[in-house]
Amino acid sequence: MVAAAAAAAAAMGKSRRSSKNSDRLEQEIDEKPAANGDVEEASDRDEESQPSDAASLSEDEGSPGSPVDSEEDNWDVSDDEDHRSGEESDSSEEEVPSRNTIGDVPLEWYKDEEHIGYDVAGRKIKKQARRDRIESFLAGVDDAKNWRKIYDEYNDEEVELTKEEVKIISRMLKGKTPHAGVDPYAPYVDWFVWDDKGHPLSNAPEPKRRFVPSKWEQKKVVQYVRAIRKGLIKFDKPKEEPHVYLLWGDDSSAAENKRHGLSYIPAPKPKLAGHEESYNPSVEYIPTQEEINSYQLMYEEDRPKFIPRRFESLRSVPAYEKALKENFDRCLDLYLCPRTRKKRINIDPESLKPKLPSRKDLRPYPRTCYLEYRGHTGPVKTISIDISGQWMASGSFDGTVRVWEIETSRCLRVWNVGEAIKHISWNPLPELPVLAISAGHDVLILDTGLGNAEEQARINELLHVEESKPEEDGGSTPVVSWVRDEKYDCIRLKHLKAVTTVEWHRKGDYFTTVVPSGDSRAILIHQLSKKHTQNPFKKLHGLPVSAVFHPTRSIFFISTKKNIRVYDLLKQKLVKKLETGVREVSSIAIHPGGDNVIVGSKDGKMCWFDMDLSSKSYKTLKAHPKDITNVAFHRSYPLFASCSDDCTAYVFHGMVYSDLNQNPLIVPLEILRGHTSSDGRGVLDCKFHPRQPWLFTAGADSIIKLYCH
């Protein structure tokens, strides 16, 4: 728009060139005699006329403070005189033609010439002397009207805009009409006279002919059909491209093949015949009988394809016995062998790896084995760490439960339950040091005796059961029975089937048990203070593997063999379903923040889920070659780990950012080895220390190892 406004201003400047030049000369002649007196009076008159000019500009443009308004205050009386002389002049563009008369010839033709064109008399129009940027800048500083000058490239001269032309350009830049007197939103003039007209122009009903097919159109269509059938009317047939192409085309046909958009490569040409293929070659090319016999001892690929022979004349040359076969092979090579130009990109494989931070920057994390806890005679199936970080409980297939002091690896308590221990979990409250143990069909709430006198009194009161209390689920068969076990001074919860996992709620009063069966009593929630059992999940889709509580909210996670179901316990409805895409889920762990979940599978894959992102896994890590037995998050450090039957435990750095736009950072750190395989089983469980960056691993070799940084 600026270029268009400048062009319009240059065109208007051409029409006023002659009158402005004469007025400017008269003004200069008048000012020369009275350089001290008259010019000052003119400047005084300019100051008096400034408010009126500024007011007129503000009314037309409505933009105070613009560059045009600030410069209009400095205009002198000569601008008004130029404007009045331009209005009084009746000249136009047709009467005052352009000074340059070269027509539509491009100006680039005169780029290397000393002139720019020719005037009316045929004389050359000399180019003006070009000033450098410093001279142009100094000239613009000295001349207050320099901002109103536009260079006319066609006539090689500078055109000075008038006040009216500046107003027009200003209005065009603001998106208004060039002239202020034009109203673009004039009211609509209705040409129809509505007075005393109560009805439309015609109220007649629609005629029947508008709804009945026209007979004349039908006759016309029949005529066209007959003319087409007789061949009187012919249509342009589409051009059919030939489906054949020149098989043995030379290089001249490359342009035809390029029209298909493919990079054409000519077919390789066969080797031309040499002296050996001659029917009468020289004696040196003919092999002897010994050489021919030596050819039979060579490999077929090293053997010469053609043995030269000598004939008296061309008529004596027999037909080539392999001519037909070689021609056929040649045709197959030309037809079947792909001759396309493949674009290969040379990429460094190291550049494709993601840029991960150095492991030194991600310390501390467990690296070396510091302690070993020996005492079990069978594979250690499960371990659990006290919330204070001072005690560790372990359960083994030998039927014993042991409590260890972590720093000294000293065994403090041993309970022989009599059945293989499937899972053990420590109460999350530090003032309630009790264990939940799953062994066979029973769950034991066991007092460890590690509390003070006040805590022991509360534990004895909490573990007191007056009588056998079966919990029924609307039917005659009890769901679970709360029984006092005098042998171990604990509570025994008798289930109908074997219990595999036990997990506590963060407040320490509720815990859940999982029975891997397809009935409605697979997932149960128990309340320790009221000795009450609930069965909120009547219908489960698939066999449950484990169930855990959310670390901060009332959300419950149920892991089946194929997916993870997330329930809201307050609203009692399904919130989200996480699709794992693995063969079978083996374990699950929740991030302390609660928005990220890791899932271990029996095909060696570990899936990281971002619950705010999607119901599908954010990352799937192929970590272990064998089954993953357990996964675990650290409570305070950005660490998570997995253990497998391949006798290894993998430690990862998993940083979760508070910024939702930034994805979690997952970096593999260390592979911990040290356990030995027993009956095809390796590391059965792993747990982090609640305060230190330590990792505990329980193996099938009946040893518990502590890895420290």
What is the layout of strands, in order, in the sheet containing 665-673?
Answer: 628-633, 639-644, 648-655, 665-673
DSSP per residue over 435-470, as a string? EEEEETTEEEEEE---S-HHHHHHHHHHT---S-EE
Its pTM stands at 0.53
* Distance of alpha carbon 28 from alpha carbon 9, whole angstroms: 25
Look at residue 13 and tell me if it is in a domain: yes
- Phi/psi for 329 (5° steps) reads -65, -35
Q: 35 is written with which tokens?
A: 């350089």
pLDDT digit string, tens, across residues 196-251: 766 666 778 888 888 888 899 999 999 999 999 999 998 888 877 777 766 665 54
pLDDT digit string, tens, across residues 496-531: 889 999 999 999 999 999 998 877 788 999 999 988
Look at residue 310 and tell me if it is in a domain: no
> Can you give the residue range of the structural domain that contains 140?
2-173
- Phi/psi for 631 (5° steps) reads -130, 155
Percent of the chain with pLDDT over 90: 37
Look at residue 279 and tell me if it is in a domain: no
Look at residue 6 and tell me if it is in a domain: yes
Residue ending a domain, among 173, 193, 214, is 173
* Distance of alpha carbon 407 from alpha carbon 696, whole angstroms: 12
* Distance of alpha carbon 173 from alpha carbon 239, whole angstroms: 54
Q: Which of 36-45, 70-79, 544-553 is least confident?
A: 36-45
If one counts the domains in the chain, the total is: 2
Decide: 654 and 672 in contact? Cβ < 8 Å: no
- In the three-class reduction of DSSP (H, G, I as helix; E, B as strand; rest coil), residue 593 is classed as coil
Look at residue 565 and tell me if it is in a domain: yes
pLDDT band at 653 (very low <50, low <70, confident <90, very high): very high
Residue ending a domain, among 150, 173, 196, is 173
Instruction: Please report, for the domain that includes residue 457, its CATH number.
Output: 2.130.10.10
Residue ending a domain, among 130, 152, 173, is 173
DSSP code at position 316 = G
Look at residue 526 and tell me if it is in a domain: yes
Q: 547 is written with which tokens?
A: 């169930």
- The alpha carbon of 210 is separated from its chain's Cα centroid by a whole number of angstroms, namely 59
- The alpha carbon of 112 is separated from its chain's Cα centroid by a whole number of angstroms, namely 54
Q: 443 is written with which tokens?
A: 């769950």
Burial classification of residue 178, based on how many CB atoms lie within 10 Å of its CB (0-12 exposed, 13-18 middle, 19 or more buried) = middle
Angstrom distances, CA of residue 451 to CA of 211, 432, 433, 454, 601: 99, 8, 6, 8, 38
Q: Which helix (H) or strand (E) holds 279?
A: none
Above 50 in pLDDT, residue 332?
yes
Per-residue pLDDT, averaged over 299-325, amounts to: 87
pLDDT digit string, tens, across residues 344-400: 778 888 888 778 888 889 989 999 999 999 999 999 999 999 999 999 999 999 999
Decide: 672 and 651 in contact? Cβ < 8 Å: yes
Decide: 448 and 436 in contact? Cβ < 8 Å: no
Angstrom distances, CA of residue 558 to CA of 67, 528, 620, 639: 71, 21, 20, 23
pLDDT for residue 341: 63
pLDDT digit string, tens, across residues 390-415: 999 999 999 999 999 999 999 999 99
* Distance of alpha carbon 582 from alpha carbon 600, whole angstroms: 9
Angstrom distances, CA of residue 114 to CA of 150, 155, 522: 22, 14, 101
* Distance of alpha carbon 478 from alpha carbon 321, whole angstroms: 94
* Distance of alpha carbon 609 from alpha carbon 592, whole angstroms: 14
> In this structure, how many other beta carbons lie within 10 angstroms of the beta carbon of residue 136?
12
Residues 6+ apart with CB under 8 A from 226: none
DSSP per residue over 355-384, as a string? ----GGGG-----EEEEEEE--SS-EEEEE
Instruction: Find, among 619, 667, 668, the residue nearest to 648 by Cα.
Output: 668
DSSP per residue over 210-229, as a string? GTSPPHHHHHHHHHHHHHHH
Per-residue pLDDT, averaged over 589-594, amounts to: 93
Report angle CA 375, 395, 513 to the nearest 5 degrees: 175
* Distance of alpha carbon 13 from alpha carbon 517, whole angstroms: 96
Look at residue 488 and tell me if it is in a domain: yes
Per-residue pLDDT, averaged over 177-185, amounts to: 87
Instruction: Find, among 448, 542, 456, 545, the residue nearest to 503 by Cα.
Output: 545
pLDDT band at 57 (very low <50, low <70, confident <90, very high): very low
Decide: 169 and 161 in contact? Cβ < 8 Å: yes
- In the three-class reduction of DSSP (H, G, I as helix; E, B as strand; rest coil), residue 525 is classed as strand
Residues 6+ apart with CB under 8 A from 406: 371, 385, 389, 390, 391, 392, 689, 706
Give the residue, 30 or 450, on which the prediction is more confident. Answer: 450
* Distance of alpha carbon 676 from alpha carbon 309, whole angstroms: 75
Report angle CA 288, 292, 296 to the nearest 5 degrees: 165
Look at residue 504 and tell me if it is in a domain: yes
Above 50 in pLDDT, residue 28?
no
pLDDT digit string, tens, across residues 474-501: 555 677 889 888 888 889 999 888 999 9
Task: Determine the residue type at 342.
Answer: K
Beta bridge partner(s), residue 534: 525
Above 70 in pLDDT, residue 292?
yes
